């Protein structure tokens, strides 16, 4: 067992106090399958107290948040970005042990979390309404007001990043938050919450209730006291929380993952394309909503691409996060077993593994490792090109021309991201218009995670946008003021 970082508090953060719950849940290190600490198991009672505290903070009954100007909120967020950076090593070590991801990736996630606070800190006092030309005896304007109490249910794959994405935007816009992190991984979130209270965030502005999805998560989504819900996770749970929120007429942002294609044409810079294709699927062991999990290759370069990718895949190694290999383990036994059974079914259907990585020498026993795999010879419409596998598995298909490429790219219910690799400028734009997804990247994939870029999907990938200014706007509602001045 490696030396573990100091663990954060085990309680829930409610109304500025750390509150013990009746029961706790074990936290497993995915690289070894062993428990490393315990977290609170919040239930409906704790969720109710947290929503009430957030409502009181919003209404000025608890603390002074409602009197903070936009500029003061921005200044706090900017200072908090520096606080995160000062705690960077411990936060990264927690993220690495808890999620199993390679240390370099965990470090990048903590930096990204700080960047969200910096971006939204700078944006807080630049969120303007409009004036609208109307009849001559009217003055009309719009105000952007906070929703109020924002419920945020987040997953285990990027706890610190998604905390930054959701919490920084909601606070910048003047909301208060009740956040339910994932039971599988939330140690960095608990540490960030600890830091926020120490940094003087007024009581009740940020509340964190760890617990199970079916208990704390379901209670939060259905709570009549929330004014906005942001959910990141599976389409199935997304549907459930959406229905629960609809009963209270609560607006919802859903970020539900994807089956994103990368399209490689023969005129592309293949070296750059293939490096990005590999990164796009092995990052966080493929457990990334925006993972480029499908590769579509033009006939003219198909054999060369598969041969060169096979070499790269065969060289990939899996290991514990702190040993910083190419790939860490999957988050838990359930996710590993789900992936392994889908891979076995694919093999039974004649799909070929062109190349696979390996477990590194000396990798710990008991970890939920699945070696990266390159799948070829895939029948059209097969599950491996329709469903999110959430592992380091790349499914390759070939196409003859642009029309065929677009047809394959859009042959899924998801629509989160797409990558297009070609030097032909006209084709870049034609494809960007025809591909059904929330983001399209040309001759890059992911734009290095740019926190400034609006992010979200269509279809089964969800609706609404996080990140960038659009994400900030989604944490506000518009009020129209029409003054008849005679
Ligand atoms: O997701 P869930 P799971 C996808 C990915 C993965 C699959 C299953 O394909 O294989 O989802 O993962 C909370 N009411 N993604 O089971 O259940 C839960 O506690 C309210 C994509 O982990 O959606 C956690 O906090 N909340 C993805 C959050 O929902 C509930 C990230 C996500 O869990 C709840 C993760 C309920 N009834 C998985 N049940 C992405 N978009 O990045 C669970 N939760």
Would residue 113 count as lying in a domain?
yes
159 shares a domain with 285: no
The residues annotated as belonging to the active site are 255, 289
298, β-bridge pairs: 399
Residue whose CA lies nearest to ligand 1 atom number 8: 234
Amino acid 2: pLDDT: 79
Mean per-residue pLDDT, 344-353:
97
Percent of the chain predicted with pLDDT > 70 = 100
312 shares a domain with 214: no
Q: How far is the CA of 53 from the centre of ligand 1 (A)?
A: 26
83 shares a domain with 21: yes
Contact (CB, 8 A) for 389 and 346: no
Would residue 285 count as lying in a domain?
yes
pLDDT digits (tens, 9 = 90+) for 429-484: 999 999 999 999 999 999 988 999 999 999 999 999 999 999 999 999 999 999 99
pLDDT-derived band at 247 (thresholds 50, 70, 90) equals very high
275: domain CATH number is 3.40.309.10
Would residue 237 count as lying in a domain?
yes
User: Pairing relation of β-strands 34-40 and 261-264?
Assistant: unpaired
- The finding on whether 153 has its CB within 6 A of some atom of ligand 1 is yes
Residue 486 has pLDDT above 90, yes or no: no
CB atoms within 10 A of CB 128: 10
Q: Which atom of ligand 1 is nearest to the CA of 257?
A: 41
pLDDT digits (tens, 9 = 90+) for 18-32: 999 999 999 999 999
Contact (CB, 8 A) for 226 and 51: yes
248 shares a domain with 188: yes
pLDDT digits (tens, 9 = 90+) for 88-108: 999 999 999 999 999 999 999
347 shares a domain with 285: yes
Mean per-residue pLDDT, 289-301:
98
Joined together, the tokens standing for residue 265 give 């044409």
Amino acid 129: pLDDT: 95
Q: Which atom of ligand 1 is nearest to the CA of 290?
A: 42
Nearest to 205 by CA among 107, 72, 321, 300: 72
Contact (CB, 8 A) for 112 and 88: no
- The finding on whether 257 has its CB within 6 A of some atom of ligand 1 is yes
269 shares a domain with 368: yes
40: domain CATH number is 3.40.605.10
Q: What is the CA radius of gyration of the chain?
A: 23
pLDDT-derived band at 330 (thresholds 50, 70, 90) equals very high
Would residue 202 count as lying in a domain?
yes
Q: Is 380 exposed, middle or buried (0-12, 13-18, 19+ CB in 10 A)?
A: exposed
Would residue 486 count as lying in a domain?
no
Mean per-residue pLDDT, 408-429:
98
Q: Distance between CA 377 and CA 115 in Å, rounded?
A: 41
Would residue 456 count as lying in a domain?
no
Give the domain extent around 244. Answer: 12-256+462-481
Domain tally, the chain: 2
Would residue 219 count as lying in a domain?
yes
Average pLDDT, the chain: 97
Q: How far is the CA of 183 from the centre of ligand 1 (A)?
A: 10
361 shares a domain with 238: no
Q: Distance between CA 162 and CA 156 in Å, rounded?
A: 9
Q: Is the four-CA dihedral 93, 97, 98, 100 of positive or negative sign?
A: positive
Specify the length of the chain in residues: 486
- The finding on whether 242 has its CB within 6 A of some atom of ligand 1 is no
Residue whose CA lies nearest to ligand 1 atom number 21: 233
Amino acid 59: pLDDT: 96
pLDDT digits (tens, 9 = 90+) for 59-97: 999 989 999 999 999 999 999 999 999 999 999 999 999
Would residue 18 count as lying in a domain?
yes
Residue 159 has pLDDT above 90, yes or no: yes
Q: What would the 3-class secondary structure string for 190-231 be?
A: HHHHHHHHHCCCCCCCEEECCCCHHHHHHHHHCCCCCCEEEE
pLDDT-derived band at 210 (thresholds 50, 70, 90) equals very high
420 shares a domain with 469: no
Residue 1 has pLDDT above 90, yes or no: no
Q: Distance between CA 163 and CA 274 in Å, rounded?
A: 31
Q: Which atom of ligand 1 is nearest to the CA of 182?
A: 25
Q: Distance between CA 277 and CA 264 in Å, rounded?
A: 9
Joined together, the tokens standing for residue 376 give 């070829």
Q: How far is the CA of 396 from the centre of ligand 1 (A)?
A: 27
149 shares a domain with 129: yes
243 shares a domain with 123: yes
Q: How far is the CA of 62 from the centre of ligand 1 (A)?
A: 32
361 shares a domain with 273: yes
Helix axis angle for 70-86 and 187-198, nearest 10°, is: 120
Helix axis angle for 187-198 and 88-99, nearest 10°, is: 150
250 shares a domain with 273: no
């Amino acid at each position: 067992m490696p030396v573990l970082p100091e663990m954060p508090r085990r309680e829930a953060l409610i109304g500025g106090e750390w509150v013990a719950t009746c029961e706790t849940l074990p936290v497993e290190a995915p690289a070894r399958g062993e428990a490393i600490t315990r977290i609170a198991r919040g239930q409906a009672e704790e969720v109710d107290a947290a929503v009430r505290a957030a409502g009181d903070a919003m209404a000025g009954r608890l603390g002074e948040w409602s009197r903070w100007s936009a500029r003061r909120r921005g200044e706090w967020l900017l200072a908090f970005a520096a606080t995160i950076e000062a705690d960077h090593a411990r936060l990264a070590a927690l993220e690495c042990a808890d999620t199993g991801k390679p240390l370099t990736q965990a470090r990048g996630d903590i930096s990204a979390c700080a960047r969200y606070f910096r971006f939204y800190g700078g944006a807080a006092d630049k969120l303007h309404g409009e004036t609208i030309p109307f009849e001559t005896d009217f003055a009309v304007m719009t105000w952007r007001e906070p929703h109020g109490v924002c419920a945020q249910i987040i997953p285990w794959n990027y706890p610190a990043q998604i905390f930054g994405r959701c919490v920084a935007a909601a606070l910048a816009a003047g909301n208060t938050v009740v956040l339910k992190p994932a039971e599988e991984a939330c140690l960095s979130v608990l540490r960030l919450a600890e830091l926020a209270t120490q940094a003087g965030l007024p009581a009740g502005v940020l509340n964190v209730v760890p617990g199970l999805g079916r208990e704390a998560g379901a209670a939060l989504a259905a709570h009549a006291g929330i004014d906005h819900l942001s959910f990141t996770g599976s389409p199935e749970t997304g549907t459930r929380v959406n229905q629960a929120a609809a009963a209270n007429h609560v607006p919802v942002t859903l970020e539900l993952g994807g089956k994103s294609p990368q399209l490689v044409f023969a005129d592309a810079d293949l070296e750059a394309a293939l490096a990005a294709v590999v990164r796009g699927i092995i990052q966080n062991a493929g457990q990334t909503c925006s993972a480029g999990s499908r590769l579509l290759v033009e006939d003219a370069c198909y054999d060369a691409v598969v041969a060169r990718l096979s070499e790269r895949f065969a060289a990939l190694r899996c290991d514990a996060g702190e040993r910083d290999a190419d790939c860490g383990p999957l988050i838990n036994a359930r996710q590993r077993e789900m992936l392994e059974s889908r891979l076995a079914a694919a093999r039974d259907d004649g799909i070929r593994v062109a190349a696979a990585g390996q477990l590194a020498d000396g990798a710990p026993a008991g970890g939920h490792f699945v070696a990266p795999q390159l799948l070829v010879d895939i029948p059209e419409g097969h599950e491996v090109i329709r469903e999110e596998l959430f592992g380091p598995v790349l499914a390759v298909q070939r196409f003859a021309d642009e029309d065929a490429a677009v047809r394959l790219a859009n042959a899924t219910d998801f629509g989160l991201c797409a990558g297009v690799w070609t030097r032909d400028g006209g084709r870049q734009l034609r494809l960007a218009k025809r591909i059904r997804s929330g983001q399209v990247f040309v001759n890059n994939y992911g734009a290095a995670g740019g926190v400034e870029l609006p992010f979200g999907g269509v279809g089964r990938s969800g609706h609404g946008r996080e990140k960038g200014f659009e994400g900030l706007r989604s944490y506000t509602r518009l009020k129209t003021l029409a003054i008849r001045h005679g």
